[in-house]
Every structure is written in C-alpha cells, then in structure tokens.
Structure 1
Amino acid sequence: MSSSSSSLSSEPGGPGLRVTVSDVAAAAGVSRATATRALKGEGRFAPETQERILAEAERLGYVRNTMAAELAAGRTGTVGLMLRDASNPAYGLLFSRLQDEAHRRGLDLVTVTIGADEQGAEQVNALHRLLGMRVAGLIVATGGITAAQLEPFADQVPIVRAGRVETATGIHTAHYDDPSHGTMLASHVLSLGHRNVVVLSGASDVSFAEHLRASAMRETLVAGGASVTLLSAGAAPTEGVDEALAAVRDGATAVMCASDYRQLAVMRASRAAGLSVPGDVSVTGCDGILPGADLLGLTTLRIPVEAVAAAAVETMQRLLSPDADSDSDSDSESTVRQAFVGTLVPGTTAAAV
C-alpha cells in the first residue's frame, strides 16, 4: 500500500511559508540583528556584507512587515482611511487623490470601504477594526457617520474628516463648502429667470452634504423671489423624481438636484414623460465628477476633490508630528477647519425661461 501526503516546502519562502529576517540572516551567514539593521538601512557594514544580505533577501522574496516593525517599536505611521463605496465617482476620485497625497508625504494608508449602512453601525465597527491595527490616525471620507459616533474615537487618535463639514471639537476637517455650492447653483438658476423651482435632495440622515446644498439652494431662491418646492428623499437617486415631475406639470420650470446622480434620474424620467431638457424644464446637479458629464452638458458644480484630499493628508501629517500637541493651548483652538469652494459648470441642461 502506498500513501501520499502534501507538505510545506522546507526551503525558506517556499509555498505556504513567509520569509522571515531569520531566514535571510541564515542564508547570508550573518546574525539576525545584522540582517535586521542592513534591511532597514541602518548601521555600518562592509559593502560586500550588505550586498550579500540584500541579494539573499531578494532571492528569497523577503518583504518587510512595516506595520509589525512599527508596532514592536510602540508606534505606527500607518493611517486608517474609512471611505464610502468607491463605485461613486466622487468617492473614487477622492480615494485616488488621498492615496497619491499620502504616498507623496510618506504616509501609509490602510483602507476600509463601506456601502449601504443603516445608522452607521458598520462604519463604527470598521473604525474599531482600524484601531485594532494600531493606526496612528483616522481619515474619515464618508458622511454616513455622525459626530456622536466619531467623538469617542477622537480621544484615542487624531481624526480628519475629508469632504464633510464637522462641528465636534477635536475632529478636524478638510471639507467641501456645500452651502456655498448650493448658493452658487441657485444664483445661476435665478439669473436664468426661473421663479418656480423644485429642489430635490436626500434627507439629512441620508446625505448631510446634499441636505446642506439643498438648504442653501432654498434660502437663495426664496431671497431671490422664487417659489420653492423642497423634496427630501431617500438614498436612491430615483426617489422623489415622480414628485418633482408632478411639480413641473403644476408649473415649476426648473428642478435643482443636490447630486448629479439625481440630476440624471430626473432627466431620464423627463424623457420618458415626453418632456425636453431644457426646453420644458431646466435641470441642475452638483458634484461634477461623473464621467462624460461634459459631453452630456450637465449644469452642475465641480467639487474641489483634489484640494480636499491634499489638505486632509497634510493636516493628518501635521497632527502626527512630534510637536503637534504644542501648537495650541486648547482643543477648540487647535481643531483644524478648512472649507474649499468648487467651480460652477453652466452646462446646457439649464436655460433661460
């Protein structure tokens, strides 16, 4: 009778085995301490010794576990990033820019993405997981978690919100100036002569950014003498669209949407209902990140993603610097708040009455 069995390779770095510093040291014929210093670029060695150690590390496929090394030293330069579903172009671009900026500044990001999340429970769990990795700080790039949920974590590590405004003491922000964006869009609609307008957005607990934009739109329109129908809908872009078109049939000449996704949903529904845009109804959005938005001629506002990402990472780097605690005498004075204003894109989906 014959039998067969499978086993892990005895060769360092063989299938199933992770190459360690000890493996590299043994292969190079040096002590573990010497190999460690050489791989970190520390200490002084004969050139041939360091070359031999690095050559063996490359041959064996050794990869240094940066986080483990930092944990052993009682610290970590890794920053946790919690991001809303990156399938949304605005969040996808923000993710890319945060990664690029972190790399440029020598910070490592470990990222958790969150999709649909009722009342932020999954996001709170994600923050606990990130803290379990001993991250040095947190960048939160989602509006779906409240200040009350974030504040307990601010007692443990520096937190920077990227994109959404925050008022809680001790939580720093690099955010879009959504009230200004709503005002800019509404002023444009008023300049086109519209005085009966629908404002369609997600409710405050669905999207705080949309809520801020819509509130500013309404205030600006009312101040300009317009009649406003404000619709607060759910998270799905199609929610509230039927009500918006009903208002159009009752005389509204423009539908202002708090996001480009909602704008597209209104345009699709308008076409299905036999209404032309902008002939029968003008439609606006906000974000300006959707691929092809320029070809579609969307009237929107391009949010300053690049500026927010750069400021968020710069703020985190500054908060992690050794002398950060000496920059101010109180938490309220040292909390960083940076707002960034985007650019109006007039487009062709909104026209004069």
Structure 2
Amino acid sequence: MPRPPTMEDVARTAGVSRSTVSRVFHHGGERVSPDAVIAVHEAAERLGYVHNLVASGLAQRHGTQLGLLIRDATNPAYGHLHAEMNRAVEATGRTLISVTASRHDYGTAEVDGLKRLIGQRVAGLFVGTGVTAAEDLVETVSATPMMIVGRPNRHPQIESVSYDERAHGRLIAERIAEAGHRRIAVLSAPLLYSRVFDLRVRSLVERCAELGVQTVPVELLPVEKGVVRALDLAREEQLTCIVSPVDYVALDLLRAAAERGVRIPEELSTVGFDGLSDGIDLIGLATVKLPVAEVAREAVDRMGELLRRAQASPGPGPEGTPSALHSEQAPPARHTVHAGRFLPGRTLGPVPETMRP
C-alpha cells in the first residue's frame, strides 16, 4: 500500500520550501505570496494530501478551533444557523468544525458527535440541536467550554443563547386570533422529537386559551400522515386554521391541501415557524422569522468569555468529576433569548364566511 503524501511531498511538487507549505496550512498563508499559496493548494489536491490539524497539535496549542454539533442541515433553520455561526467564528480569527446529526436520531448520534468533536481537541463547543437533554450534555462534556445555541435551555451549568420560542408561540396565537379564528388544529410532536417544537406549541396553546381560541391537538408524526390527519380533522370538525410547528411541515401541508383541492386560505388557513426557507415570500407562508444572525453573533462573543474564564480556571479534578466550568461552584450560567418577527402571508386569512357564527 503506498504511503500517504507528506508535507515534504507537497513542497517538492509545488516547488517551494517545507516552511512555506507549513505557513500555508498553519497560518492561513501569512507572509506567503498568492502564487505560492495557489501552488501549494494545487499540489496538495493533486497528491491527495490532507493536513491533519489534530496530529499537528495546532488546535490544542492555539485554541483556534471551535466545534458545532448541529441537527439536520436539510432543515433551513439549522442550515442558516450553521452558516451564521461559521461567519461569526471566522470573524474572530478562529475556525469552526461541525458534526451533523440526523433529523430522525433521538440523541445517541448527538452524544457520539460531541465525543468526536472533543476528540478533535476543540477549544469550545456549541450545541445547536433540539433533542439531547442538557443533563446529558453536562455528563458528556466536563472540561470543554460549552454553550447551547438556538434551543430552549435553563440548565444552571450550561450557558445558552436561544430564540425566544415562547414569545414566538404567543405571537402566532395572537395573529390567528386577530384574523378571527376560534377553533384551530395544532400539529404537535413528542418532547423527545424536538424541544423547540414542544415549547412553541405549548406557548401557543396557552396563549390561545387566554384569547378564547380552542385548540385541537393532532399527532404530527410521521409528517406525511400527520398533515393528512390535520386536513381530515379540519373538515370533520370545521376547524379554520392548522398550525405547523415548523415551516417544512407547513409546506407539506400546503402540498397535501393542493392534492385534495383544499384552497388556502379561502377554505382553510395555515401558519408555520422559522421563516428561513428560500421562496417563503413567493409562497406567502405566514410564519415567524428566527433571528439567526443575532443569536450566532452573541453566542460566539459569549464563547470568547468562556474561553477566557477557562484559561483562568483550574482543570478537571479526579477522573469522573466535573471541571470548574460545569461544577456547582462555577458562576451561574446565563441564558438569553432573542425574539424574531412575524412575517405576514397569504396563508393566514380571515375565517371563511360559511364558518362564521
């Protein structure tokens, strides 16, 4: 079996010194001419050379790498969070590496992903998933600064910067009530599936009760069957609006409604959450847009503070005990939330005349 290419091989192929190759990979090409940078990368690609940051110990020495555990990048909310986190981290001169868990995983792959990131010797960890309980995160990560991003969290030992999903649920409820709806269907999923969905739906139902709007729960999972159940129930019970806990479910509902000849919003209204999918404005989906960029920027700023605190704190104690970062003696964790804004759309209309009292 041929040996893997080395830095010396790249230098020889590119016609530069080994120190030049090292500067390209270790220091972003600092004090290297643009032509030489291009030559080094072309040689590395031609040879199949992949620089190993962990093997070089660079991440550990300089603390330049941060890790992000993200969930289901096919979901626009997570895709946008990943992009904004990467942008905010790069602005600090660091780099971001990420591990993605499947939408249909219920926590095991997330814990494994955290362990893989820790194995990469990241200086700090961002957790941007909606499943794994904070208690499990603390148990998995003891000596690395960690922050929850974009999901509900009140754990006293883990800092968080999140979307104000409680406010979002209440906001949607108020817009539905203002449109005159008094009996609606609400698609909901188990807490294990998504803590975000659960908080959105619970706050919406609570606010609807305050406003005199009756909510009828409909099991969401599996999604393709959940939206059909909601449409059937709306027809049978004369419900005038269906609430989806996320935009991709609302889009599935719109497809199912079109196949059945149900006109939106003339016969039935619908709303979603997230407001990040391309073309939402063209579709006219009424939804709440998440403040992703604001959350990402604050999370990265706060991580800088955690890293500075970690440098001034003692390391972990005996095996199996938490570090000062997550111990009961650590300063109380801060939890901040950012509220998004309602995006009006054609899918939320007035109650059909035939269903008005």
Q: TM-score, normalised by structure 1?
A: 0.81
> Are 2:171 and 1:184 equivalent residues in the alignment?
yes
Q: Contact 2:145 / 2:310 at 8 angstroms: preserved in 1?
A: no
Residues 61-90 of structure 1: CA deviation (Å, up to 9, x unaligned): 699755444459656331111111211111
> Are 2:232 and 1:246 equivalent residues in the alignment?
yes
Look up the match of 1:291: 278
Look up the match of 2:320: none
Residues 235-289 of structure 1: CA deviation (Å, up to 9, x unaligned): x432422321232111111111111111112222222222211111111111101
Q: What is the aligned counterpart of 1:237 among 213, 223, 231?
A: 223
Q: Contact 1:151 / 1:168 at 8 angstroms: preserved in 2?
A: no
Q: Which structure 2 residues correspond to residues 273-292 of structure 1 after superposition, within 5 A?
A: 273-292=260-279
Q: TM-score, normalised by structure 2?
A: 0.80
Look up the match of 1:145: 132
**Displacement after TM superposition at 1:122 (Å):** 1.2
Distance 1:113 1:243, change over 3 A: same
Where 2:298 maps in the other structure, the secondary structure is helix
Q: Which structure 2 residues correspond to residues 253-332 of structure 1 after superposition, within 5 A?
A: 253-321=240-308
1:51 and 1:292 map into 2 onto residues whose CA distance is: 43
Q: Which structure 2 residues correspond to residues 1-353 of structure 1 after superposition, within 5 A?
A: 16-20=4-8, 66-70=53-57, 76-234=63-221, 236-249=222-235, 250-321=237-308, 333-353=331-351
Q: Which runs of 5+ in 1 are unaligned?
A: 1-5, 9-15, 42-49
Q: Which runs of 5+ in 2 are unaligned?
A: 314-324, 352-357
- Number of paired residues? 327
Residues 286-313 of structure 1: CA deviation (Å, up to 9, x unaligned): 1101111000110111011111111121
Distance 1:331 1:251, change over 3 A: farther
1:333 and 1:77 map into 2 onto residues whose CA distance is: 25
**Displacement after TM superposition at 1:175 (Å):** 0.7
Q: Contact 1:199 / 1:217 at 8 angstroms: preserved in 2?
A: no
Q: Contact 1:201 / 1:259 at 8 angstroms: preserved in 2?
A: no
* Matched AA of 1:221: C
Distance 1:113 1:37, change over 3 A: closer
Q: Contact 2:66 / 2:125 at 8 angstroms: preserved in 1?
A: yes
Where 1:320 maps in the other structure, the secondary structure is helix
Where 1:128 maps in the other structure, the secondary structure is helix
Distance 1:158 1:323, change over 3 A: closer
1:243 and 1:183 map into 2 onto residues whose CA distance is: 24
Look up the match of 2:317: none
Q: Contact 1:28 / 1:56 at 8 angstroms: preserved in 2?
A: no
Q: Contact 2:69 / 2:98 at 8 angstroms: preserved in 1?
A: yes
Distance 1:20 1:318, change over 3 A: farther
RMSD over equivalenced CA pairs, Å: 3.5
Where 2:68 maps in the other structure, the secondary structure is strand
Q: Contact 1:200 / 1:244 at 8 angstroms: preserved in 2?
A: yes
Q: Contact 2:59 / 2:121 at 8 angstroms: preserved in 1?
A: no
1:246 and 1:209 map into 2 onto residues whose CA distance is: 26
